[in-house]
């Protein structure tokens, strides 16, 4: 087809968007229409709201294109992809200091959400078995976690009939910690979720401290409460940037960990992982055995068919970067996050909530008393008009009257872009501060979810 597009009868058609068109379009025309519409999504590199990978190198793109047809569930048809999946899980078990990485079990999933469901299901089933074996009621399970958990944990509790018990976050206790974790635990508690990288602020919850409080609690009550760590972001940051923080399988109470391969695992969307401390921590009866190539392949997943390409991309990243490569990439993101947060801290209108020193994510709020004329939603809209997506949103529950604004720094955010962003934030803040009357105050919209 020749340029310009949309000039002849075949291509200058108006396509219906509520039903199938009666006739086919030329491939080139359909291609162009889809690409044109997708262009309206904006520029992913200026999107500082998402945690998910928006850039991979050319060779990764080639692997993706070559492997786009692989179905992860067809372990029979694609035994090599299945073997690579197992290898990646073992690599993560080693990274997280499992006692025996080669004999434990871990699986890929479509994202951390599915991985969290699997982790939560294992906790629930394990608790049910123990209750039934002791001749006790096993119908009213509950799960203890911070009120700042990612929405997947609300979904888990809703979909699998588990009572959520939220520990409220407050100014004094912004995360789950030693002082509040045991408040709501009883014999029906299937486990505690600890978050390495709270979505709202980027902060780590003190997993070792939480585990110690649960040790104390067990001494007093006899209740042995397991921990699942939601390391959606931190699972790929802490091992490289904060090796001294003990949060993983070094703590015997941590029975399972999930992460998002498509966040700081640096792979395109569609990949999560969950790994159990030891094989025994995953109840056997959750595993389906599928025979393949004369062998037996254990499978554990909520989905059946899903893309296998992302697993190959994860393996590519492991080979390409190694430990030192991951460390450098994550360090660069953290350096930029800290640069940005230090610049924002210098603007009188803003007070930092976090500074990006855990995961490279930080949030700030309006300095109390600074102004009645504008709020962070005004700033969000102005930045958006200049191409930058920097979301503002309310904190959870108890802190719901607090609005914060957040930046997620990912691989691909250069120092050059960071300086440009700071220039824009300063310019828009100056403009807002120059107003002699109040802006209409927009409220939290439904458009931003974590």
Ligand X SMILES: *Cc1c(COP(=O)(O)O)cnc(C)c1O
- Give the residues lining the site for ligand X (CB under 6 A): 51, 111-113, 116, 150, 152, 195, 197, 199, 230, 232-233, 260, 272
Residue showing tokens 């929405």: 151
Helices (H) and strands (E) in the chain, counts: 10, 13
| Dist CA 326 CA 266 (whole Å) | 9
Smallest distance from ligand X to CB 233, Å: 5
- Of 239 and 272, which CB lies nearer to ligand X in the complex structure? 272
How many CB atoms are located within 10 Å of the residue 339 CB?
Answer: 16
256: tokens are 């399972």
Smallest distance from ligand X to CB 182, Å: 22
| Dist CA 442 CA 153 (whole Å) | 29
- Of 108 and 233, which CB lies nearer to ligand X in the complex structure? 233
- Of 349 and 399, which CB lies nearer to ligand X in the complex structure? 399
288 DSSP 8-state letter: E
- Of 127 and 153, which CB lies nearer to ligand X in the complex structure? 153
- Of 64 and 374, which CB lies nearer to ligand X in the complex structure? 64
What's the number of CA atoms in the CB half-sphere (13 Å) around residue 173?
A: 13
Smallest distance from ligand X to CB 408, Å: 10
Angle at 27 between CA 24 and CA 30, to 5 degrees: 75
Smallest distance from ligand X to CB 318, Å: 18
- Of 105 and 193, which CB lies nearer to ligand X in the complex structure? 193
Smallest distance from ligand X to CB 232, Å: 3
Smallest distance from ligand X to CB 38, Å: 20
Treating both helix axes as pointing N-terminal to C-terminal, what angle do 309-345 and 79-95 enclose, rounded to 10 degrees?
A: 40
CB neighbour class for 98 (10 Å; exposed up to 12, middle 13-18, buried from 19): buried
Residue 51 contacts residue 45 (beta carbons within 8 Å): no
- Residue 405's nearest CA partner among 392, 422, 421 is 392
- Of 209 and 230, which CB lies nearer to ligand X in the complex structure? 230
- Of 230 and 355, which CB lies nearer to ligand X in the complex structure? 230
Secondary element (H or E) of residue 276: strand 272-276
The residues, ordered by sequence, that sit 6+ positions from 441 with a Cβ below 8 Å of its Cβ are 374, 375, 377, 378
| Dist CA 193 CA 143 (whole Å) | 8
Smallest distance from ligand X to CB 35, Å: 25
Residue 119 contacts residue 107 (beta carbons within 8 Å): no
Secondary element (H or E) of residue 392: strand 392-394
Smallest distance from ligand X to CB 136, Å: 31
Query: CA–CA distance from 142 to each of 88, 125, 185, 255 (Å)?
Result: 32, 12, 8, 17
- Of 211 and 271, which CB lies nearer to ligand X in the complex structure? 271
Smallest distance from ligand X to CB 120, Å: 11
């Amino acid at each position: 087809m020749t340029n310009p597009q949309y000039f002849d009868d075949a291509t200058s058609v108006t396509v219906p968007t509520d039903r199938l068109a009666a006739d086919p379009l030329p491939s080139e025309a359909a291609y162009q229409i889809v690409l044109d519409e997708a262009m309206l999504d904006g520029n992913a590199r200026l999107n500082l709201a998402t945690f998910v990978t928006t850039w991979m190198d050319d060779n990764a793109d080639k692997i993706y294109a070559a492997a786009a047809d692989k179905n992860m569930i067809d372990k029979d048809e694609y035994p090599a992809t299945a073997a690579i999946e197992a290898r990646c899980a073992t690599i993560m078990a080693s990274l997280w200091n499992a006692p025996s990485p080669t004999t434990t079990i871990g699986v890929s999933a479509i994202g951390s959400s599915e991985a969290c469901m699997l982790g939560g299901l294992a906790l629930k089933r394990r608790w049910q078995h123990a209750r039934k074996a002791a001749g006790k009621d096993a119908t009213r399970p509950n799960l203890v976690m911070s009120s700042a958990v990612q929405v997947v944990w609300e979904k888990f509790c809703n979909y699998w009939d588990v009572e959520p018990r939220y520990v409220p976050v407050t100014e004094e206790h912004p995360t789950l910690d030693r002082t509040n974790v045991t408040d709501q635990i009883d014999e029906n508690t299937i486990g505690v979720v600890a978050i390495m990288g709270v979505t709202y602020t980027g902060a780590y919850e003190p997993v070792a401290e939480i585990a110690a409080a649960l040790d104390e609690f067990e001494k007093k009550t006899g209740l042995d409460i397991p921990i699942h760590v939601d390391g959606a972001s931190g699972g790929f940051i802490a091992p490289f940037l904060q090796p001294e923080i003990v949060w993983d399988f070094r703590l015997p109470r941590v029975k399972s960990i999930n992460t998002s391969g498509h966040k700081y695992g640096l792979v395109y969307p569609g990949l999560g992982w969950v790994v159990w401390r030891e094989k025994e921590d995953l109840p056997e009866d959750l595993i389906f055995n599928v025979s393949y190539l004369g062998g037996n392949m254990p499978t554990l997943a909520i989905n059946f068919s899903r893309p296998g390409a992302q697993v190959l991309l994860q393996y590519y990243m492991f080979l390409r970067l190694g430990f030192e490569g991951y460390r450098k990439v994550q360090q660069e993101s953290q350096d930029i996050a800290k640069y940005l947060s230090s610049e924002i801290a210098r603007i009188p209108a803003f007070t930092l909530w976090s500074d990006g020193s855990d995961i490279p994510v930080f949030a700030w709020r309006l300095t109390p008393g600074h102004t009645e004329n504008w709020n962070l939603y005004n700033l969000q809209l102005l930045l958006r008009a200049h191409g930058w997506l920097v979301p503002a949103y309310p904190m959870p529950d108890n802190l719901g009257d607090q609005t914060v604004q957040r930046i997620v720094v990912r691989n691909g955010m250069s120092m050059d872009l960071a300086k440009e962003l700071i220039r824009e934030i300063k310019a828009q803040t100056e403009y807002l501060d120059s107003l002699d009357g109040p802006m209409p105050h927009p409220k939290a919209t439904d458009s931003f979810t974590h």
